Every structure is written in structure tokens, then in C-alpha cells.
Amino acid sequence: MAETLEERVAYLEGKVEEHSRGYSELREMIVHLDQKVDRFREELSGRIDTLDQRLSGRIEALSGRLDALDQRLSGRIGALDQKISKQFIWLVGIKIMVLLAVIGALVGK
């Protein structure tokens, strides 16, 4: 089977066209994939932004609750401190009175 030069050239041209179409399809597939990746990035970015906003809102609400709790505890601690201070003053006064009574009893003998 001796092929002529023209047949061989035609065969090679066919193969080149086949490869060219394959590369064109591959380029289209890459462009399509790139577009999909871009859409996914945009969607993911939107989701991240939404999550960031939700978390920021929750953090702010939690911060407000912690501030309110801090104020309530500060008020209670302040009231407790005053109560203990008054009790301490009474205790010291009672001890001084007992001491004076003991000294008075000893001096009176």
C-alpha cells in the first residue's frame, strides 16, 4: 500500500484540524471553568460577608449584655462593701465598749 504524498499530507492536515478543534474545546472548557470559579468566589465572598455581619451583631449584643451584667455586679458589690464596712464599724465599736467595760471593772476594784 503505497500512499501518495497528497494522501499523507491530507491525513496530516486532518490530524492537525482534529488537534486544533481539541485545543479550542479545551480553551472553552477552561474559560467555562474559570467563570464557574469566579461565580463560586463571589458566592463564597457573599456568604462570608453575611456570616461576618451576623457574628458582629451577636458579638455586639453579647458585649451589651456583659456591660449590663458588669454594671449590676458593680452595684451589688458596692452595696455589699458598704454593708460590710458598717458591720466592721459596729464590731470595732462593740470591742472598744467591751474593752472600756473591762478597764472600768479593773479600775473600780
Cα–Cα separations (whole angstroms), residue 107 to 54, 96, 100, 103: 78, 16, 10, 6
Q: Kindly state whether residue 89 falls inside one of the protein's structural domains.
A: no
Total domains, the chain: 1
Q: What is the pLDDT averaged over residues 79-98? A: 94
Grid cell 464557574 — which residue? 36
Q: Kindly state whether residue 97 falls inside one of the protein's structural domains.
A: no
pLDDT score for 1: 53
Q: What is the pTM of this model?
A: 0.51
Q: Which domain holds residue 36?
A: 1-81
Grid cell 465572598 — which residue? 45
Task: Indicate whether 54 pLDDT > 60.
Answer: yes
Q: Kindly state whether residue 63 falls inside one of the protein's structural domains.
A: yes
Q: How confident is the prediction for the chain on average, in pLDDT? A: 92
For the stretch 13-33, pLDDT in tens is 888 888 888 888 899 999 999
Q: What is the pLDDT averaged over residues 87-91? A: 95
DSSP 2: P
Q: Kindly state whether residue 75 falls inside one of the protein's structural domains.
A: yes
